[in-house]
Amino acid sequence: MKSWTTKEGTEIYRILSLPANVYLVRNEGRQLLVDTSTKLFYRTLRKRLDKFSFGNGESDCLVLTHTHYDHCQNVAAVKEETACRIIVSKEAEEAVATGYTPPPAGTMPLTRLLISVGKRTANKNFAYRPFKADDMVTKEYRLFDNDNIKIIPTPGHSADSMSIIVDNEIALVGDAMFGIFISSIYPPFCDDTAEMLKSWAKLTDTGCTLFLPGHGSPISLPRLLSQYQKHNR
């Protein structure tokens, strides 16, 4: 289980890596679950959450970087089995009530084709159990009454995309960038590329030097800056 510790002592664990990364952030006895993966991996997720006794603390919460099915299909189940507070973007209000967030657009010929084919069975393949959020974020949102852990909106991949900034050192960025390609962090799926680039710029201003994506491996600040300069020409 891959883990990182900030200079301030906050611990971050990657507790699942397929089909999307799921992270657990631990700070002074308080815990933050970031995303939940798909229902196929719920049993594994549940075992790993039990290992950390997630959901037993009054301040434990679950934040979604966005509400595409591969990040949120287990939210309803986690809520049923724990007392955690659920936090999503206000932009996702209608989607989580219906259990369906439209898939993002493709950014290249192959992914545009995949989305076109996938939309024919979208309600079946991209759906999730509806759930009710406890808090909906519209702007910067501080967690645990702590100045060092906060949520910031980072739209682009989807309108409801958010990132979690930990100790101004490590950012959990969902699908704002991808860590699965050798030569690029550019998302293969994205609804608004101009907004995504603005979000990249916002993330470079946080002071973070490491970015943990929803898919793939960590991304360094120099790599993000290089990609930003390339795509923002």
Q: Residue 123 pLDDT > 90, yes or no?
A: no
pLDDT band at 58 (very low <50, low <70, confident <90, very high): confident
142-170 pLDDT, tens digit each: 998 777 999 999 999 999 999 999 999 99
In 111-226, beta strands by DSSP E: 135-137, 141-142, 149-153, 162-166, 170-174, 210-213, 219-220
pLDDT mean over 47-60:
93
pLDDT tens for residues 206-221? 999 999 999 999 999 9
Tell me the mean pLDDT in the region 127-138. Answer: 97
For the record, the structure tokens of 211 come out as 């970015």
pLDDT top residue among 163 and 117: 163
**CA-CA distances (angstroms) from residue 118 to 15, 68, 100, 123?**
28, 13, 14, 10
Through-space distance between the first and last CA atoms of the chain, rounded to whole angstroms: 38
Phi, psi of 92 (to 5 degrees): -95, 5
| 189 neighbors 107 (Cβ within 8 angstroms) | yes
Helix (H) or strand (E) holding 15: strand 11-16
Nearest to 6 by CA among 201, 215, 165: 165
Q: Are 32 and 21 in contact (CB under 8 A)?
A: no
Residues 98, 121 contacting (CB under 8 angstroms)? no
State the pLDDT at residue 144.
86
Q: Amino acid identity of 64?
A: L
